[in-house]
Structure 1
Amino acid sequence: MSKPIVAIVGRPNVGKSTLFNALAGQNISIVKDTPGVTRDRIYADVNWLNHGFTMIDTGGIEPESKDIILSQMREQAQIAIDTADVIIFITDVRQGLVDADAKVADMLRRSGKPVVLAVNKVDNFDKLLMDVYEFYNLGIGEPFPISASSKLGLGDMLDEVVRHFEEEEEEEEEDDIPRVAIVGKPNVGKSSIINKLLGQSRVIVSDIAGTTRDAIDTNIMWQGREYIFIDTAGLRRKNKIKEELERYSIIRTVTAVDRADVVIVVIDAVEGITEQDAKIAGIAHERGKGIIIAVNKWDAVEKNDKTIYKYTSKVREFLSYMPYAELMFISAETGQRLPKLFDTIDMVLENQTLRIQTGVLNEIMAEAIALQQPPSDKGKRLKLYYITQVSVKPPTFVIFVNDKELMHFSYTRYLENKIREAFGFRGTSLKFIIRERKEKE
């Protein structure tokens, strides 16, 4: 089940970022040791009651003139309509109802997506209530008075947001068809890969009706097994500012990755791996997905006997935080190694859902400890009591120790390598949760 996506839309200076930060709190999705993961926080994971969702900030550029503001807002509203399950439309009680608000509200209303209307900067509920009522005129339902900077009224607004998820969840039934997202920068050949796969598997394509986001889902049958490919292509607006395009493609990547089991990160062989590729791969890594790095247009690279080694080490160096990712060299143009893609997807899926018995895990851990003593600090030594696997997708392990502080990142990494030596787990990240147990227990 993928997390719902909530997007924030509103004019400049009404408090979009303040609201974003208030909701994201400390729980901000920037991973410290992942190089290349976006620093400008476009998205964050938020939990409210029992619901987790991904919040995206569609904002970005703050233009001067009124017409540009409106066209920018339309653009942002369009991103929100395309990608979000629920839209928070934020307005400003001090500026009152503005023409641009009404125009964007029309657009949101016509989209049929659930919209929660938030009226910000209401620092005094009693005094400003009449001013809040004015926003009923937008015709998109009840206005929720909030103050993002003082964190007032956010609970009622979030209750309304998650109410819309529950309606959606009832409609979505879970199926067992593997979902594969094809992501990457514009023009690396994402669509050509899908088209070629379709050609080779000669299946009737059904673009599944009712997919809410504008990533196109395609069903492909391969040797009797069905797969759903999620394609994030379609970013072809030449006149857009580069930053904005990047922001848009990152938002769409996040939404596609969230829905997938396995992510294929496509890299252009001719251009070589770039920062933007590392950012995109970082999103899949952060989200604990199965990952295949597919170097496309391999037919167009001049080769000698060293080329593939040089290229491999370059990619590995760039993505040093995910050594587990599978690496493939393909060509959508000639179809080179595309059939092997399905074998690789199957292998990664199997690893994503692999469960290992507790007894076996503890044997491996005991052996690892015997080979390399756990670290100690000021005379206190780390003790590891017990390890068990608690979930899959990605495989997640809990390790019970005497003192969390002593469990260094590097020792966790060492144990991870030992587990990988035994079981492979190729193509999937592993997650470790460290819990403390007091000596007495």
Structure 2
Amino acid sequence: MTFTLAIVGRPNVGKSTLFNRLAGKRLAIVDDTPGVTRDRRMAEGRIADLEFRLIDTAGLEEGDPGSLSDRMRKQTEAAIEEADVAILLYDARVGLTTMDEHFAKLLRRSKTPIILAANKCEGKFIQQGIYEAYALGMGDPIALSAEHGEGLGDLYQALVETLQEIGIDPHAEEEIDEEAERRAREANTGPEEGDLNYEFEDPEDEDEEVKPLRLAIVGRPNAGKSTLINELIGEDRMITGPEAGLTRDSIGVDWEWDGLPVRIYDTAGLRKQARISEKLEKLSVADTMRAIQFAEVVVLLLDAELGVEKQDLKIAERVVEEGRALLIVLNKWDAVENRLEVQRAFEDALTRSLPQIKGVKTVTLSALTGKGLQRLMPAVEEVYEIWNARVPTAAFNRWLHEKLEKHPAPSVNGRRIKMRYGAQIKTRPPTFAIFCNLPDDVPDSYVRYLENELRRDFDLPGVPLRFIMKGSANPYEGRRRKNK
């Protein structure tokens, strides 16, 4: 990425629509309701051969110090300061408003160059809205239709000209560190004859980029998800406050912990299905569910003061159904008086409601004060490693035969279920295939028995396990008896 581009403007002018258009996919929630976006969202953007880092921002609004509007405006100001170029977007159908003029003055005082763009220009009667923009004194406005992808060629030209004016070559290739390249060539020449102090490495792995661990933070509204992320990364990246439901989009933040790249997803709070009536909240919930599907480890954040509710257990059950690694975090632990009683109540509820994931790891902390936060990421890494665990085929079959001798599979309609052999066929989560003569008749209770025994014997607590029963072919089927 050669530069960073921020999209700013008052609420409901189409910033998120333009963000999705430039990103090439629907990342931000788009709705007619003003002020949908609250936290700034980042992605890789592109227009033709021009690649850049893209920032979507909350609508610029005035508000009292400490209010939600004021906190959203500070997030937008941080994005403008971070960007090399910013697009000030306004609605050409509505024309310039007093708010547009106010924030144009604010942007002119910033050091970031501004490109003025009129959105929603797909109609025939918007010329007046374009002509009004000259009063802002920010040059010629670019006519766009973010929804239909019109006007991107003019935006491309304006970006190139603006970047050249501030000394950035938008088509410059990244500089190559010649010394690093020389060391890499020497490293790839291989060991000298007689030197055995080296380890074999797959050459395909050398070019493989280390992918970040995808970590989603989920929970009910106002559990402290955004506060936890801000405390982890050490900056006020997410909007926080006493209001419930502040987060609407699933926002991804790149971070590094102890040398491990991590991408953390802040998600919207999940309420009971019966209470979700507004279209916008339904979109937010769907975005959270996509974050769970995309994540590798999911942290379910609970408010320790409120205890465990049915909705918390439903969220945990959904995470398990998706096959993600689960970690339970009890937040606001510093405010809990009867800690032993609360923890026992939680463990009892989890054992009763989610018997299929025995041994789920729990962490207690306070996201607001940071107390206990040092235990979170080691627990995430531990759960992630178990989720990626692989059991050798020989060890698995020895274990399977021992369990079959100890507790044979039951008979069905007078026919005995014969389990011949098995193997782990995938990780993430650990998934095992067992070949038997009656795969469709194996009782669920017997599968649960195998899951519990495998979890205990191979130390696989707290992650979903999958068992697939497959039919094994009869080697004598189809053969005809030879005539004597």
Please indicate the TM-score interval, normalised by the length of the shorter structure.
0.5 to 0.7
Map of 1:340 onto structure 2: 375
Map of 1:49 onto structure 2: none
Deviations 1:215-258 (A, max 9, x none): 2222332223222211114899xxx9656565334312211112
The residue correspondences of 1:33-432 to structure 2 (distance < 5 A) are: 74=32, 108-109=147-148, 175-199=210-234, 214-233=249-268, 244=279, 247-303=282-338, 305-432=340-467
> Quick check: 2:215–2:262 contact (8 Å CA) kept in 1?
yes
Q: SS where residue 357 of structure 2 aligns? A: coil
The residue correspondences of 1:10-25 to structure 2 (distance < 5 A) are: none
Instruction: Flag structure 1 segments of 5+ consecutive residues without an equivalent.
Output: 1-54, 59-71, 83-101, 113-172, 207-212
CA distance in 2, matches of 1:327, 1:234: 20
Instruction: Flag structure 2 segments of 5+ consecutive residues without an equivalent.
Output: 1-25, 42-121, 124-144, 152-207, 239-247, 477-484
1:110 deviates by 5.8
Is the alpha carbon distance of 1:250 and 1:234 closer, same or farther for their aligned partners in structure 2, counting shifts above 3 Å? closer
- The residue identity in structure 1 corresponding to 2:394 is G
- The residue identity in structure 1 corresponding to 2:326 is I
- The residue identity in structure 2 corresponding to 1:227 is V
Deviations 1:392-415 (A, max 9, x none): 111111110110132111111111
Percent identical:
35
- The residue identity in structure 2 corresponding to 1:419 is L
Deviations 1:296-327 (A, max 9, x none): 11222221644422332123334344334322
Deviations 1:313-353 (A, max 9, x none): 12333434433432222221232322111111111111111
- The residue identity in structure 2 corresponding to 1:215 is S
Structure of greater relative contact order (alpha carbons < 8 Å, 6+ residues apart): 1
> Quick check: 1:383–1:403 contact (8 Å CA) kept in 2?
yes
Is the alpha carbon distance of 1:277 and 1:304 closer, same or farther for their aligned partners in structure 2, counting shifts above 3 Å? closer
CA distance in 2, matches of 1:253, 1:356: 32
Q: SS where residue 338 of structure 2 aligns? A: coil
- The residue identity in structure 2 corresponding to 1:217 is G
Is the alpha carbon distance of 1:235 and 1:321 closer, same or farther for their aligned partners in structure 2, counting shifts above 3 Å? closer
Alignment RMSD: 3.9
CA distance in 2, matches of 1:419, 1:432: 11
- The residue identity in structure 2 corresponding to 1:300 is A
> Quick check: 2:356–2:448 contact (8 Å CA) kept in 1?
no
Q: SS where residue 285 of structure 1 aligns? A: helix
Question: What is the number of residues matched between the two proteins?
Answer: 282
CA distance in 1, matches of 2:376, 2:218: 15
CA distance in 2, matches of 1:420, 1:110: 52
CA distance in 1, matches of 2:424, 2:369: 42
Is the alpha carbon distance of 1:304 and 1:282 closer, same or farther for their aligned partners in structure 2, counting shifts above 3 Å? closer
CA distance in 2, matches of 1:235, 1:413: 29
What's the TM-score once normalised by structure 2's chain length?
0.51
What's the TM-score once normalised by structure 1's chain length?
0.56
- The residue identity in structure 2 corresponding to 1:351 is I
Is the alpha carbon distance of 1:279 and 1:311 closer, same or farther for their aligned partners in structure 2, counting shifts above 3 Å? closer
1:436 deviates by 0.6
Is the alpha carbon distance of 1:432 and 1:75 closer, same or farther for their aligned partners in structure 2, counting shifts above 3 Å? farther
CA distance in 1, matches of 2:309, 2:292: 19
1:192 deviates by 0.9
- The residue identity in structure 2 corresponding to 1:74 is D
Is the alpha carbon distance of 1:283 and 1:246 closer, same or farther for their aligned partners in structure 2, counting shifts above 3 Å? farther
Rg larger in structure: 2
Q: SS where residue 74 of structure 1 aligns? A: coil
Deviations 1:347-395 (A, max 9, x none): 1111111111100000111111111121112211111011101111111
> Quick check: 2:326–2:383 contact (8 Å CA) kept in 1?
yes
> Quick check: 1:376–1:406 contact (8 Å CA) kept in 2?
no
The farther-off stretch of 307-316 and 411-420 is 307-316
CA distance in 1, matches of 2:377, 2:284: 26
